[in-house]
Amino acid sequence: MSTTEIGNVSVPAGVNLPLYMDNHATTPLDPRVLEAMMPYFTTVFGNAASRNHSFGWEAEAGVEKAREQVAKLIGATAKEIIFTSGATESNNLAIKGIAEMYKERGNHIITQATEHKAVLDTCKRLEKSGYRVTYLPVKADGLIDIEDLKLAMDDKTILVSIMFANNEIGVIQPVAEIGKLCHERGVLFHTDAVQAVGKIPVDVNAMNIDALSLSGHKIYGPKGVGALYVRRRNPRVQISEQINGGGHERGMRSGTLNVPGIVGLGKACELAGEEMVAETKRLIALRDKLKAKLEGALDYIHVNGSWEHRLPGNLNMSFVYVEGESLLMGINEIAVSSGSACTSATLEPSYVLKALGLGDDVAHSSIRFGLGRFNTEAEVDYVADKLIDVVQKLRELSPLYEMVKEGIDISKIEWQAH
């Protein structure tokens, strides 16, 4: 096998650098999705709202097929699917739309501290408009405590929004239990299911979900397109529109539909449904191999978040006594995500990791590996070997690591300022 030397780690044949292992941020477009989309860029270019000629009818047929494909993946009906520009818009539409529509009934919303910013910032915006929002803490494993949720509910609670699976630590919340509790209390339940849909089974009826956000680019579909599921029966959920215009999408979301994007989202959902069982098995094997190789060669490393309740392709690990920025620079030909906030240029430690109770130093030395459909075993081997090499080199330079190895409790040291 031919190899290329980079540092102490050889790059095996078939592994191309830079290498992508950040599939929670976005996924590459599946070639089969692109193939389904192509006609809608060229020959089938009609506006799906043009009802009086064949160009419009063909576009509309493509959209309606996609609606069926999306609905099937989550156990919904086609009429319950609203197309949007992505999950951020879906989250905004669901939370603001429900808050406005049900404000006569109450003004209290419950969410959790580790939600995506698209949910947290939407809730903060509503607080400025007089809504009360409760931000539930999470336990050290990243899961909410159902008892906390019960205690937070009152007679003014109209909406609970808890994400299905976390984008950083991959932790899967007890969604069916949350949905059951909400329905018993007559409270609507929304979930940001961006990381879960297409990766693990999602059934909106079995799980008592009233509104669900999903996005194309997390499931090997195009960017800039997403969907919102809105329950039509038991209970019928009403949402006030946030974008006004021609009354598209049954009056819930105006604007000319992104037909090629929607067709791509539909195809991506269809493929995810067909391949989920096999893909889950493969990704768990790759992820477990990566974890085992790292743990076999390095000490003072740990997994962040529940191992049992976790997405198949997620591994979030802290490499203690290593400076996070140096670690990322050492593996700069591997695309991964760090434990520092990626939402801005600041080096703030991730609020999700801090919510688990991790210290800043531990959060900064964390890496999120997002394994996906196109990652291979050879890539996993290379990433593990490269990371082991870089961590060992950095720790050789770390006086803290040396002290810990000598049995010194560094938390008890009083550092002197000079």
195 is in an annotated binding site: yes
Residues 203 and 277: their CA atoms lie apart, in Å, by 15
**Distances 66 to 132, 195, 234, 266 between C-alpha atoms, Å:** 37, 20, 24, 4
Residues 291 and 303: their CA atoms lie apart, in Å, by 9
In the 8-state DSSP scheme, what is residue 400? Answer: H
| Phi, psi (degrees; rounded to nearest 5) at 295 | -70, -30
Residues 352 and 157: their CA atoms lie apart, in Å, by 25
Instruction: Specify the amino acid at residue 127.
Output: E
3-state secondary structure at position 398: coil
In the 8-state DSSP scheme, what is residue 210? Answer: S
Give every CB contact of residue 234 below 8 A, 6+ residues apart in sequence.
Answer: none
Residues 228 and 181: their CA atoms lie apart, in Å, by 22
Residues 253 and 349: their CA atoms lie apart, in Å, by 36
In the 8-state DSSP scheme, what is residue 103? Answer: T
Residues identified as active-site? 342
Cα of 338 vs its chain's centroid, Å: 15
**Distances 153 to 214, 291, 385 between C-alpha atoms, Å:** 26, 39, 49
**Closest CA relative to residue 14, chosen from 3, 22, 29:** 3
Are 270 and 39 in contact, with CB atoms under 8 Å apart?
no
392 is in an annotated binding site: no
316 is in an annotated binding site: no
Instruction: Specify the amino acid at residue 35.
Output: E
Are 157 and 341 in contact, with CB atoms under 8 Å apart?
no
Instruction: Specify the amino acid at residue 416.
Output: Q
Are 160 and 133 in contact, with CB atoms under 8 Å apart?
no
216 is in an annotated binding site: yes
Rounded to the nearest 10 degrees, the angle between the axes of helix 54-74 and helix 259-297 is 30
90 is in an annotated binding site: no
Tokens 């007089």 locate to 130
3-state secondary structure at position 215: strand
Cα of 34 vs its chain's centroid, Å: 22
* Residue stretches of the annotated binding site for pyridoxal 5'-phosphate: 87-88, 167, 195, 215-217, 256
* Residue stretches of the annotated binding site for [2Fe-2S] cluster: 342
* Residue stretches of the annotated binding site: 87-88, 167, 195, 215-217, 256, 342
